[in-house]
Amino acid sequence: MASPILPSLGLGSGLDTTAIVKALVDAEKTPKQGQLDRRTSANTASISAVGSLKSALTAYKTALDKLNDSANPAFIGSVAATSNDKYVKATAGSTAVNGNYSIQVSQLATASRVASERYTDSSSVVSASGGTLTLTQNGTAVDVTIPANATLQQTRDAINAQATSKGFTANIVNDGTGSRLVLSSETMGEGSDISVSGVMTIDPSAAMTDAGGAGRVGELAKDAEFEIDGMKLTSKSNKVDNAISGMTFELLSKTETLSPVSITVTANTDGLKKSVQSFVDAYNALVGTINNVSVSTKAADGTWNTPALSGDPAVRGMLTALRNELVVPGTNGSGQLSVLSQLGINTVQGTGLLEFDSTKFTKAIDDQKLGGEVQNLFNGDGGLLDRMTKAMEPFSASGGVLDERNKSLEATKKSLSLEQSSLDARIKDLEASLTKKYNNMDTLVGQLNSQRDSVLSIFEAMAAQQKNS
């Protein structure tokens, strides 16, 4: 059985000097350590809270950017369905009107392609002296500098380097008996044929020949020809965005005779509802985080829980900036839809969160025909999403309010660490000093006791001697 641990008693004094030193050290350290622990705990909680806010802001901005993506708009008021998207695809914009349309495509728009005369191969020299090769389309000329003794391949590379940004592309095609330089353009429609002059000549009015002559490849460039509800129309491009207000058509193929494609445009109620709910969820997630780190709550036992950033001016500023944008009237569109409450979106008193009444929303879209106005309220420059994103930039930006707040807290953390090190060093010195003093005291008491015992022994010896004499 292990022996019990006994207090470290002074050999001279018989006192528990270790306990005395510990009590004195604790009396000096405890109040200062408690204060330092409370400050460190508060600082750590504040750093964590600022981190939570930064993460919530990043998630909020990501959600809003997705909803405000011009390439893939989320708040489209109407949707277009086509009976056969093999021939025509249709997209409804914010100003589209619900209805049915019939489209017949008789001809697709085509671009110009021309080919040079036939050369032996890609290493054949095009021009010994070099010079300028001029590409002309729709009355606009683009000059390309061709070096001396340029081969067919070098000529292609020069065109691609100098004219690709202008919409021209060059390639080399081997037709089985030799190589030709083939030029094409992104521009479609009648009259957009490419002509080439200078170090190389290509006339698009003539077709290239099997014998090797230069000219156009296939037919001349054409306009698209189609009918909408029996009305004959043409377009320079196969993407038609001005035939019907608010509608964009992509012509993909000629329709079969007497088999028009039907396009039906209806309110995008479900899609809009999903997008609005996504906005409400993103907003509530951010405000919920703000509340968690800054709003005091009362527990069941009556005590109050005070978060790390309670009363923090930066947090109050964030919340104010968000709420201010909610009440700014929308100015885009026809003016029928200007505030969120028209769509069943309201602020919950006390929490600042948003609630979404889907029944009221559906009624606004179906009965009041506000679907086309939703995109104008939320999307685009000056729309709600754009304004809210900009309102948060001072807080979320690199070097912004939260970054500066975190920088200050990290500096405080470093200072607290230095204070802790300083306190630990002082306490260590104090403990060493007290231990030395009590050890010296114990030694001195031991010496005095020894002297006392020696004197007593002498007196006892003298007394004994007198008694015996």
Per-residue pLDDT tens digits for 34-43: 999 999 988 9
- Segment 395-414 shows an average pLDDT of 90
Share of the chain above pLDDT 90, in %: 54
Residue 100 located in a structural domain: yes
**DSSP for 265-281?**
EEE-HHHHHHHHHHHHH
Query: CA-to-CA distance for 304 and 308, rounded, in angstroms?
Result: 13
Q: Are residues 200 and 232 in the same domain?
A: no
Checking if the pLDDT of 220 tops 50, the result is yes
- pLDDT band at 335; cut points 50, 70, 90: low
Checking if the pLDDT of 187 tops 80, the result is yes
Checking if the pLDDT of 8 tops 60, the result is no
- Segment 385-411 shows an average pLDDT of 91
Checking if the pLDDT of 78 tops 90, the result is no
Amino acid at 15: L
Residue 38 located in a structural domain: no
Residue 7's pLDDT is what?
A: 45
Q: Are residues 384 and 300 in the same domain?
A: yes
What does the block give as tokens for 191? Answer: 């009259």
Residue 282 located in a structural domain: yes
Residue 416 located in a structural domain: no
Residue 423 located in a structural domain: no
The three-state secondary structure class of 188 is strand
Checking if the pLDDT of 11 tops 60, the result is no
- pLDDT band at 331; cut points 50, 70, 90: low
What does the block give as tokens for 240? Answer: 């038609």
Q: Are residues 254 and 346 in the same domain?
A: no
Checking if the pLDDT of 202 tops 70, the result is yes
Query: CA-to-CA distance for 319 and 314, rounded, in angstroms?
Result: 9
Residue ending a domain, among 353, 374, 402, is 402
Number of domains in the chain: 3
What does the block give as tokens for 58? Answer: 């990043």
Q: Are residues 167 and 194 in the same domain?
A: yes
- Segment 10-20 shows an average pLDDT of 70
Q: Are residues 99 and 246 in the same domain?
A: yes
Shortest CA distance to 200 belongs to which of 114, 137, 116? 116
From edge to edge, which strands make up the β-sheet containing 215-216? Answer: 168-174, 179-188, 111-115, 215-216
- Segment 131-141 shows an average pLDDT of 95
Checking if the pLDDT of 183 tops 80, the result is yes
Q: Are residues 127 and 167 in the same domain?
A: yes
- Between 357 and 93, the more confident residue is 357
Residue ending a domain, among 402, 417, 434, is 402
Say which residue the tokens 């109040």 belong to. 31
Residue 441 located in a structural domain: no
Domain coverage including residue 101: 78-108+224-267
What are the pLDDT digits (tens) for 82-93? 999 899 999 887
Q: Are residues 206 and 243 in the same domain?
A: no
Q: Are residues 301 and 234 in the same domain?
A: no
| Beta strand extents in 24-110 (DSSP E only) | 78-82, 88-92, 99-107
Q: Are residues 128 and 142 in the same domain?
A: yes
Query: CA-to-CA distance for 266 and 101, rounded, in angstroms?
Result: 12
Structural contact between residues 183 and 113, judged by C-beta atoms closer than 8 angstroms: yes
CATH number for position 151? 3.30.70
Q: Are residues 119 and 232 in the same domain?
A: no
Residue ending a domain, among 375, 402, 429, is 402
Is 310 exposed, middle or buried (CB count within 10 Å of its CB: 0-12, 13-18, 19+)? middle
Q: Are residues 344 and 331 in the same domain?
A: yes
Q: Are residues 184 and 260 in the same domain?
A: no
- pLDDT band at 6; cut points 50, 70, 90: very low
Residue 27 located in a structural domain: no
Residue 164's pLDDT is what?
A: 94
Residue 11 located in a structural domain: no
- Segment 355-364 shows an average pLDDT of 90
What does the block give as tokens for 85? Answer: 């998207």
Checking if the pLDDT of 75 tops 90, the result is no
Structural contact between residues 274 and 95, judged by C-beta atoms closer than 8 angstroms: no
Checking if the pLDDT of 15 tops 60, the result is yes
